[in-house]
Chain A
Amino acid sequence: QQQVKQSPQSLIVQKGGISIINCAYENTAFDYFPWYQQFPGKGPALLIAIRPDVSEKKEGRFTISFNKSAKQFSLHIMDSQPGDSATYFCAASIEGSQGNLIFGKGTKLSVKP
């Protein structure tokens, strides 16, 4: 049973456009929702994260929107750039899980110049 469902699998966006990646979860005990960015040949790196007590968090061009009632959260990349081309993973975690993260399957983003 997949605990965190991520879509789409792949995404092609033109430079300057908005990239949107969605994730859904079932376990209401999750209380921490990070997004990781991974470039080819590299390990994932934390990009931005949100907790359920807020509906939106913005850091630069990256925004997480969180809908607690729908059990969904999404990553928006504004003014997408070719340098944003990477694989993005959403994840979820439960407090007290000693750092254990449940990852989505990932979305490969390509930003065309």
Chain B
Amino acid sequence: NAGVTQTPKFRVLKTGQSMTLLCAQDMNHEYMYWYRQDPGMGLRLIHYSVGEGTTAKGEVPDGYNVSRLKKQNFLLGLESAAPSQTSVYFCASSFFAGVHDGARQTIDPRETQYFGPGTRLLVL
């Protein structure tokens, strides 16, 4: 398994340009998340998805849009990039159910969150 992968690894944009960040996971996870990480700020949740075709806002959603057309992919879009969106973006995925000894078990998705390697975005 490749786990959680992110494309691209690094990108430079000019103010006003648009772009899409791709997150892909091959673990059949139901939940996916987009975070941004800024120096001295920790990680802040932008948007998340609890399943194919569903999305929800996180702590800092303004200026971003997301889509989850396929279970394995979660796209983060910037329609008109601003310098304030210069950041490192991390995608994560998690699951809430599994099979143990032949029985289906509910798992807390907070315990199973796996992060990708990040996308560094610079907006000039």
> CB within 8 Å of A: which of B60-118?
90, 92, 94, 96, 108-111, 113, 115-118
Kindly list chain A residues whose C-beta atoms are within 8 Å of the C-beta of B41: 105
Q: How far is the CA of A99 from the CA of B43 in the complex (A)?
A: 14
Contact pick for B31, options A9, A32, A98, A106, CB 8 Å:
A98
DSSP class of A's interface residues: helix, strand, loop or mixed?
loop
- With A9-B40, A32-B108, A99-B113 as known contacts, state yes or no: A44 contacts B90, CB within 8 Å: yes
Q: How would residues 12 to 46 of chain B score, 1 for a CB under 8 Å from any chain A CB and 0 otherwise?
A: 00000000000000000001010000001111110
Nearest residue in B to A51 (C-beta to C-beta)?
A: B108
Instruction: Let me know if A43 and B90 touch, CB within 8 A.
Output: yes
Contact pick for B109, options A41, A49, A99, A103, CB 8 Å:
A99
Nearest residue in B to A89 (C-beta to C-beta)?
A: B42
Instruction: Let me know if B110 and A45 touch, CB within 8 A.
Output: no
Contact pick for B113, options A6, A101, A102, A104, CB 8 Å:
A101
- Residue tally, chain A, CB below 8 Å to B: 24
- With A99-B94, A99-B110 as known contacts, state yes or no: A44 contacts B115, CB within 8 Å: yes
- Shortest C-beta distance, A75 to chain B (Å), equals 15
Kindly list chain A residues whose C-beta atoms are within 8 Å of the C-beta of B94: 99
Contact pick for B42, options A43, A97, A99, A106, CB 8 Å:
A106
Q: How would residues 42 to 71 of chain A score, 1 for a CB under 8 Å from any chain B CB and 0 otherwise?
A: 111110010000000000000000000000
User: Can you name 6 A-B pairs with beta carbons within 8 Å?
Assistant: A44-B43, A46-B111, A95-B108, A99-B31, A99-B33, A101-B110
Beyond A99-B113, A101-B43, A101-B110, 16 additional pairs, beta carbon < 8 A? A9-B40, A34-B110, A41-B118, A42-B118, A43-B92, A43-B118, A45-B115, A46-B113, A89-B42, A93-B110, A100-B33, A100-B48, A101-B45, A103-B44, A105-B41, A106-B42
